[in-house]
Structure 1
Amino acid sequence: MDEKIQETLQNLTKNNMGGYFVQNQTMLLDLLTKLIPKGSTIGCGDSITLEETGVFDFLRQGSYNFLDKHAPNLTREEKRSIYLNNFTADTFITGTNAVTLDGKLFNIDGNGSRVAPMLYGPNQVIVVVGINKLTTDVDAALKRTRQIAAPLDAKRLGKATPCTALNRCIDCRHQQRICNDFVLINGQFIKNRIKVIIVNETLGY
């Protein structure tokens, strides 16, 4: 295991968060089988990482009550209902924009539906992250999120913000801006409520 990864895992533990390391998708899904009891209600956040690793399909095909925000033909009201039900889910699973070497999680969100259940509600939060999301500190986390992740996510969502054309953030005030909620998780009261799984692959953006 790389020293950088090892240090990150140790610091996540110091911050009362669980830290795990797996080599690939197969090991990730095996670990999720152990961490998530059958019959559980599972909520999720938007995540290219979870798509790429097959986690969404794993949850759809498993013995879980999956609150699938990506189900086809959901109305705005139905999606909002899912967002609210995420707070009472047994497990909320998501990606993250960055994990710092000192064991902190940094995210930027558009409407808060992803970061809010990370902060409060579900008994367990599982964060899946590729090694490309590891950063030296919070400043580096902010920079990578604003200059790399946010423009790519805005493009994915079909936004007309300046970053989609410039491929970089200019801290715009566009009405379709997705950089609204800046959230840094330094630690947890409840030990291991948040579990961070680092996958030894480049995932998401």
Structure 2
Amino acid sequence: MNQNVNWYLQKRLERVKQALEKNNYEVYIVDDLDEVKSLLSNLIDKKSTVSFGGSMTLLDGGIIDHLRNLDIELLDRYKEGLTKEEILELHRKSFFADYYITSSNAITEQGYLVNLDGNGNRVAAMIFGPKKVIVIAGYNKIVKDLDEAYERVRNYTAPINSKRLLRKTPCVEVAKCLDCNSDERICNHYLVTYRQNVKGRGIVILVKKELGF
């Protein structure tokens, strides 16, 4: 990375870190995914129960494979051979996990987490249930404010995820949200988390890499 671009990213991430800390989060800034994995190994207690939300950041970044190799009880929703009923049961068990690992669709410069969900299991667990929530986000998830966050998650993240999931929704045809009423719509639950009210529960890892979408 160009040193001037790296300087800019570092300064912006430091501002976001300060905002998140003001909102009661524990925050780390790391350079790459290797540092993320090393940090997770240190943050997560051995023998603990760990779950995770659906996330391309976790999948593409090799985070889930890393979790599978830790000395933990992993509630692995991507384990081969699971039925829909078994996956739903894992979603329910996630509320009793010691750690819940996920990403965020957007993080504002004011330190707000913004997420859009289809089923709602991910945003529900981020709000309540698991003892600790660890959010991993690349610098591309940082936005100026809530208006930019809304634009990002509705007109960028949602259409791309709909395409990835092979949903038959209008946004797949036009690459923007049409606020449809389709049964296959994935943008059903919009959550803005302004502050983590339980001290020590929310952990955010900001990565100087473009991760997910």
- TM-score, normalized by the shorter chain, greater than 0.5: yes
After the TM superposition, which residues 1-205 of structure 1 pair with which residues of structure 2 at under 5 Å, given as runs?
2-205=10-213
User: Partner amino acid for 2:19?
Assistant: N
Contact 2:106 2:114 survives alignment (8 Å)? yes
Identity of aligned residues (%): 40
Length, aligned pairs only: 205
Deviations 1:18-67 (A, max 9, x none): 11110001111111011101111001100000112211001111111100
Q: 2:56 and 2:210 mapped to 1: Cα distance?
A: 11
Deviations 1:158-184 (A, max 9, x none): 100011111111111111111100000
Give the secondary-structure state (helix, strand or coil) at the position aligned to 1:126: strand
Backbone CA RMSD of aligned residues: 0.9
Q: Please, which runs of 5 or more residues in structure 1 have no aligned partner?
A: none
Give the secondary-structure state (helix, strand or coil) at the position aligned to 1:43: strand
User: Partner amino acid for 2:191?
Assistant: V
The normalised TM-score by structure 2 is 0.94
The runs of 4+ residues in structure 1 deviating greater than 4 Å are none
Q: 1:38 and 1:12 mapped to 2: Cα distance?
A: 27
User: Partner amino acid for 1:109?
Assistant: D
- Identify which range, 170-179 or 83-92, moves more after superposition: 170-179
The normalised TM-score by structure 1 is 0.98
| CA displacement at 1:192 relative to structure 2 | 2.8
